[in-house]
């Protein structure tokens, strides 16, 4: 590489570099280039997505902190606030699955911690290639083990999540980690200093050479030498994170801190410049003060190291003594490394020598924003040309058995049984249902308790978004909120992680823009704000001549509240209860984007069944009402795999059976396997049938009586009183329970 193109080593383009030289009136030095390269990376600056992210609604009656801070914060009740966020750790998890995933968990915990919240729950949304070849199996096992290692040890339960397998994620797995924390009302912290002269106290682990330039790595596409980037991946230590959490909780309790910022992407450079920018101040760092774990580290490495388990605290001068005592007490490093100034400059010294001097605004706010070209991809016309009517009819029983053991439908117990989902004794509904449900309590000062329960649901059907990004975006939001409604929870807010391909390709920009528009329209309609999140672009692999971008995969976590501890699960409760399908049923049911098309016919095609947002919202309100008034015994939404799979999921693990008496004109494959939205399976006691029908009809929705729950553990399906299917539930359950464990 010619000397004049050296900026490329830092992930900067020619135009970006020239802009920097012009702004500074001189050439930046090596350290300055490192800082700018890291902070101007897509990962830190959102330069391709910023313009579109403004489309999301971010305000609402419960919102206390929207996007822009380390996590969003909403009000649960008068005493408890909730802080939460989801973030990606995709690129590191391909290069080094175990540590990549583990540090993803560690990073999101610190985001929530920096709001002053005690983290109480984790979730993970994972996407892998099909678990058939050794390399993919290695990734799956490594990622799950990494999450298990970190989350279990740090003592925060992993209460839910989702896992999907699709070819497009083969060399670009997605690992999105979510964390929820609780704050006693009124005690939220931000990444802010309040006046110049306040000190920066770096606390936690020592700093090493791990993860230098991770943000730049995460902002480039992969080529065949991806694995040579392994030294870019950070290594996590959950034991230090646990001590850091406890220490910070004590520090807050003793009133020793003004502002908090975690160290993540771009390390100390990122944390201090963002803090300075948000505080509208400058900052001076003395890099020789940073506690190191390796000898001979230079200023560049110290500034940009992404060593884990570190926090930057803004403190008053008279608190240094006590903070050092506490750090020692908790077996942590703790040192004053800099201070806030009033001149808006970022300056770093190393043993008295000035090694970097940049305007804070140049590093942060002046990062470029791109309006990249966007164009509808060619594949869209091709997938839409699919004619469902011409589909070959397949045997229903064969199809059902195939679907049950498909990795996207089968039980994910192999994954979640490796996570401690109960530590903290707040987990009311364990993984495996539509949503996780948590009780809110903390027992030592400050004691926290809420009469409300909190529900969390995680969704992100990339296949639907691929087929139609706009309708897919709506579909994903509708499903996440429907899952909350299925346990009786009213939504408070959403956090999202947008996982897309290379934004320099107009087709990917089009997907991003349409998906965001779809999601934003749905969020506005439902009145549910997006309060935090993250964008992960460049999920692309260039291999020989093949360019592979992932499916556009927005992943959402919806957070909701349950009143009066009234909730239901997806499982059928008792023999003799009646099983109904309720929702938007008079529309045409489509097989577009279904798991059935993929698994049984080997096709990914069709259009996404458009969500009627009005009916969807009515369905959620009705469900919450039916649960609060104790009219229904169980609720489960129809999603991946369709109605038949939903019904079996209600049955598995109950020891009960089901008899379906169907009267439908619909083609059977469509009736059983369509993934059309706005439909929920509910069960009720026989004498409440009329009550249910009145509620559903009263709001203009439809109901369909499907059958009843039996004591005998078998599945019987009759169509116009003719038997078409009779199976032992035990056999079906085995097909559904074991595939993942067998494959891995």
Determine, following the binding rule CB under 8 A, whether residue 713 of this chain makes contact with other proteins: no
In this chain, which of 34, 146, 238, 334 binds other proteins, going by CB under 8 A? 238
The CA angle 27-30-36, to the nearest 5 degrees, is: 80
Q: Is 43 a catalytic residue?
A: yes
# residues contacting other proteins (CB under 8 A): 32
Mark 257-295 as b/e (b = at least 16 C-beta within 10 Å).
Answer: bbbbbbbbbbbbbbbbbbbbbbbebbbbbbbeebbbeee
In this chain, which of 94, 330, 346, 350 binds other proteins, going by CB under 8 A? 330
Determine, following the binding rule CB under 8 A, whether residue 154 of this chain makes contact with other proteins: yes
Taking the least distance from each CB to other proteins, the nearer of 157 and 642 is 157
Taking the least distance from each CB to other proteins, the nearer of 153 and 361 is 153
Min dist CB 158 to other proteins, Å, is 9
Decide if 175 contacts 89 (C-beta within 8 A).
yes
Q: Which two tokens stand for residue 326?
A: 């506490």
Min dist CB 148 to other proteins, Å, is 5
Taking the least distance from each CB to other proteins, the nearer of 442 and 525 is 442
Q: Which two tokens stand for residue 449?
A: 């308790």
Determine, following the binding rule CB under 8 A, whether residue 565 of this chain makes contact with other proteins: yes
Distance set, CA 540 to CA 220, 496, 564 (Å): 8, 20, 47
* Cα–Cα distance for residue pair 400/415, rounded to 1 Å: 23
Taking the least distance from each CB to other proteins, the nearer of 415 and 644 is 415
Determine, following the binding rule CB under 8 A, whether residue 628 of this chain makes contact with other proteins: no
Decide if 575 contacts 129 (C-beta within 8 A).
no
Alpha-helix residue ranges (DSSP H) falling in 457-528: 462-467, 469-486, 506-526
Determine, following the binding rule CB under 8 A, whether residue 101 of this chain makes contact with other proteins: no
In this chain, which of 42, 262, 420, 595 binds other proteins, going by CB under 8 A? 420
In this chain, which of 19, 131, 155, 446 binds other proteins, going by CB under 8 A? 155
* Cα–Cα distance for residue pair 299/311, rounded to 1 Å: 19
SS (H, E, C) 74-139: EECCCCEEEEEEEEECHHHHHHCHHHHHHHHHHHHHHHHHCCCCEEEEEEEEEEECCCCCHHHHHH
In this chain, which of 8, 317, 328, 331 binds other proteins, going by CB under 8 A? 331
Roughly what angle, to the nearest 10 degrees, separates helices 506-526 and 469-486? 40
* Cα–Cα distance for residue pair 322/327, rounded to 1 Å: 9
In this chain, which of 370, 386, 442, 671 binds other proteins, going by CB under 8 A? 442
In this chain, which of 242, 394, 524, 625 binds other proteins, going by CB under 8 A? 242
Taking the least distance from each CB to other proteins, the nearer of 428 and 435 is 428
Q: What mask, x for binding other proteins by CB under 8 A, covers residues 116 to 135?
A: --------------------
Determine, following the binding rule CB under 8 A, whether residue 310 of this chain makes contact with other proteins: no
Judged by CB under 8 A, the chain residues 469 through 508 that form the site for other proteins are none
* Cα–Cα distance for residue pair 261/490, rounded to 1 Å: 31
Q: Which two tokens stand for residue 232?
A: 């870019």
Determine, following the binding rule CB under 8 A, whether residue 138 of this chain makes contact with other proteins: no
Taking the least distance from each CB to other proteins, the nearer of 71 and 147 is 147
In this chain, which of 17, 421, 510, 736 binds other proteins, going by CB under 8 A? 421
Mark 719-729 as b/e (b = at least 16 C-beta within 10 Å).
Answer: beeeeebebeb
Q: State yes or no: cis peptide before 581, omega within 30 of 0.
A: no
Q: Which two tokens stand for residue 578?
A: 């009646």
In this chain, which of 137, 293, 441, 566 binds other proteins, going by CB under 8 A? 441
Determine, following the binding rule CB under 8 A, whether residue 549 of this chain makes contact with other proteins: no
Taking the least distance from each CB to other proteins, the nearer of 46 and 240 is 240
What ranges make up the beta strands (E) of 316-352?
333-341, 345-350
* Cα–Cα distance for residue pair 88/340, rounded to 1 Å: 31
Decide if 311 contacts 201 (C-beta within 8 A).
no
Determine, following the binding rule CB under 8 A, whether residue 428 of this chain makes contact with other proteins: yes
**Stretch of 187-195, 393-401, 440-448, 519-527 lying at the interface with other proteins (CB under 8 A):** 440-448
| Catalytic residue (one of 62, 89, 286, 636) | 89
Q: What mask, x for binding other proteins by CB under 8 A, covers residues 271 to 300?
A: ------------------------------
Contact residues toward other proteins (CB under 8 A) are 145, 148-149, 152-155, 237-239, 242-243, 330-331, 416-425, 427-428, 439, 441-444, 565
Active-site annotation, residues: 43, 89
């Amino acid at each position: 590489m010619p000397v004049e193109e050296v900026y490329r080593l830092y992930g900067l383009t020619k135009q970006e570099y020239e802009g920097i030289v012009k702004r500074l009136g001189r050439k930046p030095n090596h350290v300055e280039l490192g800082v700018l390269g890291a902070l101007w990376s897509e990962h830190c600056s959102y330069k391709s997505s910023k313009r579109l992210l403004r489309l999301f609604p971010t305000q609402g009656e419960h919102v206390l902190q929207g996007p822009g801070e380390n996590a969003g914060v909403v009000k649960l009740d008068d005493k408890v606030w909730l802080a939460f966020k989801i973030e990606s750790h995709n690129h590191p998890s391909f290069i080094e699955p175990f540590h990549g995933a583990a540090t993803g968990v560690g990073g999101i915990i610190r985001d929530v911690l920096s709001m002053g919240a005690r983290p109480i729950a984790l979730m993970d949304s994972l996407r892998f290639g099909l678990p058939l070849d050794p390399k993919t199996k290695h990734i799956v096992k490594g990622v799950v083990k990494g999450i298990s290692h970190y989350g279990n040890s740090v003592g925060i339960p992993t209460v839910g999540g989702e896992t999907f397998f699709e070819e497009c994620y083969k060399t670009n797995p997605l690992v999105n980690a979510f964390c929820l924390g609780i704050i006693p009302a009124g005690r939220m912290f931000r990444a802010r200093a309040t006046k110049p002269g306040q000190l920066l106290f770096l606390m936690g682990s020592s700093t090493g050479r791990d993860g230098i330039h991770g943000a730049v790595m995460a902002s480039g596409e992969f080529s065949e030498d991806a694995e040579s980037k392994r030294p870019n991946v950070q290594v996590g230590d959950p034991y230090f994170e646990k001590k850091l959490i406890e220490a910070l909780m004590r520090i807050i309790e003793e009133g020793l801190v003004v502002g908090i910022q975690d160290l993540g992407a771009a390390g100390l450079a990122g944390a201090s410049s963002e803090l300075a920018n948000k505080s509208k101040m400058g900052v001076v760092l003395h890099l020789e003060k940073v506690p190191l774990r390796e000898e001979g580290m230079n200023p560049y490495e110290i500034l940009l190291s992404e060593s884990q388990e570190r926090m930057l605290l803004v403190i008053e001068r008279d608190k240094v003594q006590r903070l050092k005592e506490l750090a020692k007490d908790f077996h942590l490093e703790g040192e004053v490394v800099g201070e806030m100034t009033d001149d808006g400059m970022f300056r770093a010294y190393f043993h008295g020598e000035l090694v970097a001097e940049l305007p804070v605004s140049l590093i942060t706010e002046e990062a470029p924003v791109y309006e990249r070209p966007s164009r509808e991809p060619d594949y869209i016309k091709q997938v839409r040309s699919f004619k469902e009517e011409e589909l070959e009819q397949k045997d229903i029983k064969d199809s059902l058995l195939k679907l049950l053991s498909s990795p996207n439908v089968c039980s994910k117990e192999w994954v979640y049984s490796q996570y401690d989902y109960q530590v903290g004794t707040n987990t009311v509904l364990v993984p495996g249902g539509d949503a996780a449900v948590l009780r809110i309590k903390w027992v030592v000062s400050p004691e926290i308790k809420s009469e409300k329960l909190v529900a969390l649901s995680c969704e992100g059907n990339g296949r639907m978004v691929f087929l139609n990004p706009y309708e897919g975006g709506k579909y994903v939001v509708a499903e996440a909120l429907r899952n909350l409604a299925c346990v009786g929870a009213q939504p408070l807010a959403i956090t999202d992680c947008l996982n897309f391909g290379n934004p320099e390709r107009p087709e990917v920009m089009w997907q991003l823009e349409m998906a965001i528009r779809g999601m934003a329209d749905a969020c506005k309609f439902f009145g549910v704000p997006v309060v935090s999140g993250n964008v992960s672009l460049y999920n692309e692999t260039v291999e020989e001549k093949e360019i592979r971008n992932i499916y556009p995969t927005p992943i959402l976590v919806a957070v909701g509240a349950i009143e009066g501890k009234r909730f239901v699960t997806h499982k059928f409760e008792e023999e003799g209860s009646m099983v109904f399908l309720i929702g938007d049923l008079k529309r045409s049911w489509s097989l577009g984007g279904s798991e059935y098309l993929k698994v049984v016919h080997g096709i990914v095609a069709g259009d996404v069944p458009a969500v009627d947002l009005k009916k969807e919202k009515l369905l959620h309100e009705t469900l919450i009402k039916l649960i609060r008034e104790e009219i229904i015994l169980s609720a489960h939404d129809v999603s991946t795999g369709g109605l038949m799979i939903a019904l079996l999921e209600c049955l598995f693990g109950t020891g009960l059976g089901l008899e379906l008496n169907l009267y439908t004109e619909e083609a059977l494959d469509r009736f059983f396997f369509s993934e059309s939205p706005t439909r929920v399976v509910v069960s009720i006691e026989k004498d409440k049938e009329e009550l249910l029908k009145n509620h559903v009809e009263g709001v203009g929705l439809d109901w369909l009586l499907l059958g009843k729950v039996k004591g005998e553990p078998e599945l019987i399906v009759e169509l116009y009183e003719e038997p078409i299917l009779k199976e032992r539930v035990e056999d079906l359950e085995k097909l559904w329970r074991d595939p993942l464990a067998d494959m891995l």
